[in-house]
Chains A and B, each alone.
Chain A
Amino acid sequence: MWEFLIPLFAATVQSGTPLIYATLGEIMTERGGVLNLGVEGIMSISALVAFWISFTTGSPWLGFLGAGLAGMVFASLHAFVCISCLGNQVVSGLALTIFGVGLTHYLGVPYVGLHAPGFTPFDFPLLSQIPVLGDVFFKHDMLVYLSFVVPFLFWFFFKRTSLGLHVVATGEMPAAAAAAGLRPIALRYFAVVSGGFLIGLGGAYLSLAYTHLWTNGLSGGRGWIAVALVIFAFWRPGRAVAGAYLFGGVMAFQLRLQAMGTHLPSSLLLMLPYILTILVLILSACFGRRIEAPAALGTNIEPEG
């Protein structure tokens, strides 16, 4: 039993990691009051940027940072259209996804099938010695270990720093925030762009750690799952991690079933994560009536005058 479960759980952590980064990024964005449906597009393009940088420079860390920057650039497109130009947030996010996924397919053609240096797993000193837990959590690559730390920083940012509280205020009541002397426009830009950075890191994980090989359609709907996970997580980092591992688990399980050669057709197995997304939303709707989205989510701030 354990011989089956431990590798499964370890694979769960691996496939959950990009979702952690992306979901936290989207929570950051939405806490500021902006809905960004461009996650899928941002993840795709930043996965390619990470691959390209690592491929040309040989440094996966540069690729990782470059993906974060690419995420910021793409998120700032969305920020400009919605925050400065008052464009519809739903449609702008969709447009960003269409654009980002298209651009990835276009620019990625020469790299399909190539390898780039990426992050490789290593045993984390001491902690990997713990029975079971060590095998599941501490025999991964650096980006996985980093993803254990980021949610705590994230939590600290929103609970303990004034900037974090200001971001929340803009997401709840921008007019009141402005009356209190804050600058909602700048805060929203901050939330969207820094959220884009985290989403970009999620993209980098896909092409530098999850696989070291470039293929088309690498993100495969993970961006959309991240958007759903934000609702499941009620905009909280802890629940986001739990949700990410839940999905990671289903993806890992489905891959394992395929590898074992079941008689179920692969198309039915591949449906599992998407069906689970809908089920998860139904469940969070049933049990989460008390907790609402940021009040001003999806509405733009009209300029005065």
Chain B
Amino acid sequence: MPLTIIKRDEPWKWGALVIFLGALLFCLAVSAALLAGQGKDALHGLYVLWLGSFGNLWALEGALLKAIPLFLCSLGVAVAFRMQIWNIGAEGQFALGAIGATWMSLLFPDLPRLILLPLMFMMAFLLGGIWAFIPAFLKLKLRVNEIISTLMLNYIAILLLDFLVFGVWKDPASFGFPMTPEFTQGAIIPTIGDSRVHWGLLFCLIVGVGLWAFMRFTRLGFELQASGEGARVAKYAKIRYGMLVMFVMFLSGGLAGWAGCVETSAILNRLQPSLMVGYGYTAIVVAWLARLEPLNIAFASFLLAALRVGVENMQLELQIPAAFGVIMEGIILLTVLAGQFFLLYKLERKHSS
């Protein structure tokens, strides 16, 4: 029975949600198959994953903690993607943010928290922003492909971080481990009450709402939305496209930089290579799953953060490599991309006429 492709008259209303859930199911099925292929009990594995992600309060706290840097990075990725600027350098901008924050904390260890933390956030935003500004500048002036330049800057940023913690910033008392001295109290974001969750959560809320309001109510935000259709459309609307690209990339990098600052200050309390766990790449998955909408990004980053925590639980209990989580992210994204076809088209049986 042959099928034909028919364009929908209007986009499928609940399609995005259905496709997302379908992708999640498919991903779990493939994961189960992978576990079974390694001689592990697949159903038990998925149960361990579930327990690790949502099983108890400890798990939920862990997911929230990981959702914070993911959310900030994803917001950054999303503002750039909206303009069809393919910034895949969140990972490097995250590293530069961490470096900026650490720099301030090492320079002024004795400042009170109310001065030192803002200083760290400012430097993190600045360095992360500059790291993203370089590709934007190269793209505009020399038409250098930003996908490759942002990606290369990721590798360079991680090596720069290595260079610092193995060299000039190494703690003399660390027995040779590559890490900076522990931050002073003034450089650490405190936790909320007795929980493990820190005040970075509130910061995320403010940034999220602020960005939403900026997009919604300011002229610049409006221009940014309009430029999503591409450079030519923007020029017809008399928008200074070049300025906008540089601004958006700076913003995008700055947001990822903040994520690096929060993670270093609140979670690790020092700079060390184990900071880099791929949030910048997961952020791309989050941003695309969330269809680049800030509110969706909040949900999606929580979900993928929960997945990461769940996979950590599997690592401990079933001795599964950490890469398992990355595989799941890749499958979900690929499936959603394939599924988005059905938002605009449907398949129907060919009528014999």
Contacts and interface: CB of A to CB of B under 8 A. Distances in A.
Contacts of B281: 98
A285 B334 contact: no
Query: Most chain-B CB neighbours within 10 Å: which of A84, A100, A221, A271?
Result: A271
Interface stretch (A61-69, A161-169, A272-280): A272-280
A106 B324 contact: yes
A263 B67 CA distance: 41
A101 interface: yes
Contacts of B142: 282, 285-286
Interface stretch (B98-106, B185-193, B325-333): B325-333
B162 interface: yes
B199 interface: no
Interface stretch (A141-149, A192-200, A223-231): A223-231
Given A102-B330, A106-B327, A231 B138 contact: no
Given A85-B339, A274-B152, A268 B323 contact: no
Contacts of B149: 278, 281
Contacts of B334: 77, 81, 92, 95-96, 99
B32 to A, nearest CB: 14
A91 B14 CA distance: 22
Interface string B157-183: 001101100110000000000000000
B5 interface: yes
A181 interface: no
A81 B338 contact: yes
Contacts of A96: 330, 334
Given A90-B86, A106-B34, A275 B323 contact: no
Contacts of B86: 90
A101 B326 contact: yes
A231 B148 contact: yes
Contacts of B340: 85-87
B7 interface: yes
27 contacts: A80-B338, A85-B337, A87-B338, A87-B340, A95-B330, A95-B337, A96-B330, A98-B285, A99-B333, A101-B326, A105-B326, A106-B320, A106-B321, A106-B324, A106-B327, A221-B155, A228-B145, A265-B167, A267-B166, A268-B159, A270-B159, A274-B156, A278-B144, A278-B148, A281-B145, A303-B5, A305-B4
Interface of A: 37, 41, 77, 80-81, 84-88, 90-92, 94-96, 98-106, 109, 221, 224, 227-228, 231, 265, 267-268, 270-271, 274-275, 277-278, 281-282, 285-286, 303, 305
Given A274-B155, A281-B144, 13 more contacts: A85-B337, A85-B339, A86-B344, A91-B284, A92-B334, A98-B330, A105-B321, A105-B326, A267-B166, A268-B163, A271-B159, A274-B153, A305-B6
Return the 7 tightest CB-CB contacts between A and B, nearest first: A99-B330, A102-B326, A105-B323, A87-B337, A95-B333, A85-B341, A102-B327
